[in-house]
A and B are shown apart, each in its own frame.
Chain A
Amino acid sequence: MIKNINFVSKFKKANFFSIVFFILSIIFISFKGLNYGIDFKGGTLIELRTEKTVEAYSIRNSLSTMDLGDINVKKFGKEGDFLVKVEQKNTTNNNLIPEIKEKLTNNLNSAVDFRRVENVGPKVSSELLESSVIAISLALAAMLFYIWVRFEWQFSVGSIIALFHDVVITLGIFSVLSLEINLSIIAAVLTIVGYSMNDTVVIYDRIRENLFKYTKISISDISNLSINETLSRTIITSATTLLALVSIYILGGEILRGFSFAMILGVIIGTYSSIFVASPILKFFKVSYKTLEKEEEKIVP
């Protein structure tokens, strides 16, 4: 199967869309903000199961008298399963959980089973946020360095811009949909970073190879050729990864749902960005056979 799709002709349109989405994402992240989970905001999360059928609002009502700050109740999976999030103003109360349990059991007239309780103090949550930001920044820096060592700086800038594009748009979609950002989403974002980089490297590798092979052809045509040559690999790998991820999304249970959703978004955006973001940047920098040669000379005088 010989593919010869003219990607380069679509670069302009794609770049326009990318920039629009990128800016929209930044607007949403800065004005609507991200829906931080208790990992980063502090507070209490309770996953509970009631014996009798109960409505979410009756849980909210019975807790609202306890002066707990913001209360968020939503259905979670099966009938009778709820996820309760409490802002918890005074963090020193070590007896909070049993008090909530007693209150609910009395008010709802039903046995209540606390299946999962997470309680993160304000100090710990700000530390977790800090270390997550450090982790993502370090991962980006380490990869930038690796690409810079393996390729030339133009490639490294291109791949990092592609990565930023992926991470920002994924977070933007999370902001638009008000999906919760917690520790496992950070893990997902870092994996997206790895995956997107992986994809970009494969195409860059081929571009570099072709630049040496066809010294007379312009970077646009080289990009186009390289993208086409690696296209079936790009599609097959995205397909197998998505198969695995969709399987987690549908069957992996509620706790992994946000994680796998972020990953699915990331894989799709990452695949798109290696073709439509990372490659045009090389064109922008007017990378040619000569750029590579100059660098070679520098390294091997």
Chain B
Amino acid sequence: MLNFSKINVIIIYLIFFFISIFSLLNLQTTDKTFLEKKVNLGLDLQGGSYLLLEINSDSLVEEKIQSKVIPLKKLLKDNGLNYQDFKIKNKNLSFKIDDISKFDLLFFSKKNNLVNPYIENYRSFELDYQKKKDNYVEVLFSKYGLLTINNAALKQSIEIVRRRIDDVGTKEPTILQRGDKRILVELPGLKDPERIKNLLGKTAQLNFRLVSENSEFGVDELISETGEILKISKRIVMSGENLIDAQPSIQNQQNEPTVSFTLDRLGAQKFGRATTDNVGKRLAIVLDGKIISAPNINEPITSGKGMISGNFTFQQATDLALLLRSGALPTPLDIVEERTVGPDLGEDSIKSGVTSLIVGFILVIIFMFYKYRVFGLVANIALIANLLMLVGVLTILEATLTLPGIAGIILTVGMAVDANVLIFERIKEELKTEKSVIHAFDTGYSKAKITVLDANITTLIAAIILFAFGSGPVKGFAITLGIGIVTTLFTAYFLARHLTSIIVLRDNNKDVKIS
């Protein structure tokens, strides 16, 4: 085990230098070098917010099933099917029908089925129905129909979340899909997480509806910004979809912050017609079911430009404009998990983490030198090399270093010497019975090999499983621990063994002692 061919030695040191040189990249302060790889600091170290948002598609499903009412009734009528007792329930439509088999044929027809389209991807129809007693049927979304609604809502939500966050202008946000209902948002270095949470917590569905006592579409009673109860038609004159731009502005006369908006062509037409027909009436501006304001229509607005006032502060006007620009979320988002760390706490954590790393490192080095003298030095050189390589690999992977990750490094420092301890102790034993020093070292290394491997593989198993199942901070710990084990094996079995062989072979036949 002590003989190294020249080529082996060269390969070992090349690997070592190649990997550890990457660790130096972290020292550079400018970004303009040829390699921009760096270990990223986790949110717990640099400060920032981690949010897990969940879409709540219940209301969307209700809305979608309601939109099926008219086409379904039309389908039944056009084909001469008699139905009775048509009811819209929360998530299904219930009615009584005479000829169920004919309905079944129509309902599951693959050709030009406007009511119940066939989804090729899933080989399933969007809707399904259940037979109830007395010829009643209940139409509801199929499993894949629900999945399609959910996926579309999630994709759209991610897009809108991204627009809103980009608009606020945070640096390097991470926005990812997590599972089939959740969105993960990471915002490093964020100063005011409450503002973002506020912006993401609003669906921002904007409607313009006329204030009227009675309407053929029915009326809603909503409380206006001044506290009066207004009856508002359910008919939507125009919605936020038709907005192409919104900006905060100051209305000169009262010096009041407002939001001015620009409509697309279709929106301008709708808005123009509605304002022309209803001069003198009041138009309510409704955001997420609340009236922002309900101004009088003084004259027709045909320019496609308008203004929303509502006793805003300038910040509120800015945020409302931002929400309107980025569009409405298809469903409300719930914040199901939040972790925010202030920047000064992050700094404190780095400081204490690094201090404990250095102190632990020095203690271990002194201890090893005290126990094994020259070979303690060998183990210590291996330990330093180990750290350099560990940081090097983390840099190559551009891994994220978290506080538990630093703990993982410190633990690696403590456990890394184990491989060398195992080997040295074994050699000591061999030296008792073996006359030839070289022979003792040689058998010591080969006999300890199996134990070192067995021992490290068990820890590696723990690290891999932590990585696979752990979340956030635990993952960071698992990465450093796992990589640490691999670099430990490399440095103990190649670097330290080579250094040992140099010492032993140089002192050939002299008395080599461990400790």
Interface residues of A (CB under 8 A from B): 47, 92, 94-95, 97-98, 113-121, 123-124, 128, 131-132, 134-135, 138-139, 142-143, 146-147, 150, 183-184, 186-187, 190-191, 193-195, 197-199, 201-202, 205-206, 209, 229-230, 232-233, 236-237, 239-248, 250-253, 255-256, 259-260, 263
B187–chain A nearest beta-carbon distance, Å = 13
B482: shortest Cβ distance to chain A, in Å?
10
Q: Which residues of A sit under 8 angstroms from B337, Cβ to Cβ?
A: 119-121, 124
Question: Which residues of chain B in 340-360 are interfacial with respect to chain A, using CB atoms and an 8 Å cutoff?
Answer: 340-342, 344-345, 348-349, 352-353, 355-357, 359-360
* Chain B residue nearest in CB terms to A123: B336
Interface centre among A95, A123, A195 (most CB of B within 10 A): A195
Can you pick out 26 interface pairs between chain A and chain B where the beta carbons lie within 8 Å of each other? A114-B340, A115-B342, A124-B52, A143-B458, A143-B461, A146-B458, A146-B461, A150-B454, A184-B404, A184-B473, A184-B477, A187-B466, A187-B470, A187-B477, A197-B458, A197-B459, A201-B451, A209-B447, A237-B422, A240-B368, A243-B364, A243-B414, A244-B363, A246-B360, A248-B360, A252-B407
Contact between B340 and A121, CB atoms less than 8 A apart: no
A253, B357: Cα distance in complex, Å: 12
Chain B residues, CB < 8 A from A255: 44, 349, 403
Beta-carbon nearest neighbor of B335 in chain A: A94
Contacts of A253 in B (CB 8 A): 348-349, 352-353, 356
Interface string of B25-38 (1 = CB under 8 A from A): 00000000000000
Asked if B99 is an interface residue, CB under 8 A from chain A, the answer is: no
Beta-carbon contact of A135 and B466 below 8 Å = yes
Closest to B372 in A: A236
Contact B417 A240 (CB under 8 A): yes
Partner of B336 from the list A121, A183, A239 (CB cut-off 8 Å) is A121
Which of A229, A239, A244, A250 meets B411, CB within 8 Å? Answer: A244
Instruction: Determine, out of B194-202, B205-213, B281-289, the stretch whose residues face the partner at the interface.
Output: B194-202
Given contacts A115-B342, A240-B417, whether A256 and B478 have CB atoms under 8 Å apart is: no
Question: Per a CB cutoff under 8 Å, which of B360, B368, B465 touches A247?
Answer: B360
- B367 an interface residue at 8 Å Cβ cutoff? yes
In the complex, which of the residues B193, B335, B463, B469 contacts A138, with contact meaning CB atoms closer than 8 Å? B469
Whether the Cβ atoms of B474 and A198 lie closer than 8 Å is no
| Residues in chain A near residue B462, CB distance under 8 A | 139, 143, 190-191, 193-194, 197
Q: Which of A150, A198, A242 gathers the greatest number of chain B CB atoms within 10 Å?
A: A198
A134→B334 CA distance, assembly (Å): 26
Instruction: Show the binding face of B for A, using Cβ within 8 Å.
Output: 44, 52, 54, 193-194, 197-198, 201, 334-342, 344-345, 348-349, 352-353, 355-357, 359-361, 363-364, 367-368, 371, 403-404, 406-407, 410-411, 413-415, 417-418, 421-422, 425, 429, 447, 450-451, 454-459, 461-463, 465-466, 468-474, 477-478, 481
CB-defined contacts of B413 to chain A, threshold 8 Å: 244
Nearest CB in chain A: distance from B390 CB, A: 14
Known: A194-B458, A263-B411; 4 extra A-B contacts, CB below 8 A, are: A116-B341, A117-B193, A139-B461, A243-B360
Chain B hits for A138, CB < 8 A: 465, 469
**Do A146 and B360 have beta carbons less than 8 Å apart?**
no
| B414 in complex: contacting residue of A120, A229, A242, CB < 8 Å | A242
Which of B341, B414, B425 meets A241, CB within 8 Å? B414
Q: How far is the CB of A270 from chain B (nearest CB, A)?
A: 12
How far is A225 from B450 in the complex, measured between Cα atoms in Å? 19
Complex formed: what's the CA distance from A236 to B336 in Å? 46
CB distance B407 to A260 under 8 Å?
yes
Contact in complex: A116, B415 (CB < 8 Å)? no
Residues in chain B near residue A252, CB distance under 8 A: 352-353, 356, 406-407, 410
- Residues A233 and B414 in contact, CB atoms below 8 Å apart: no
Residue among A117, A150, A190 making CB contact with B466, cutoff 8 Å: A190
Asked if residues B342 and A114 are in contact (CB atoms below 8 Å), the reply is yes
| Known A-B contacts A146-B457, A198-B456, A252-B356; A232 and B425 likewise in contact (beta carbons under 8 Å) | yes
- Tell me which residues across on chain A come within 8 A of B477, comparing CB atoms: 184, 187, 191
When distances are taken between beta carbons in the complex, the residues of chain A under 8 Å from B450 are 205
Contacts of A240 in B (CB 8 A): 364, 367-368, 414-415, 417-418, 421
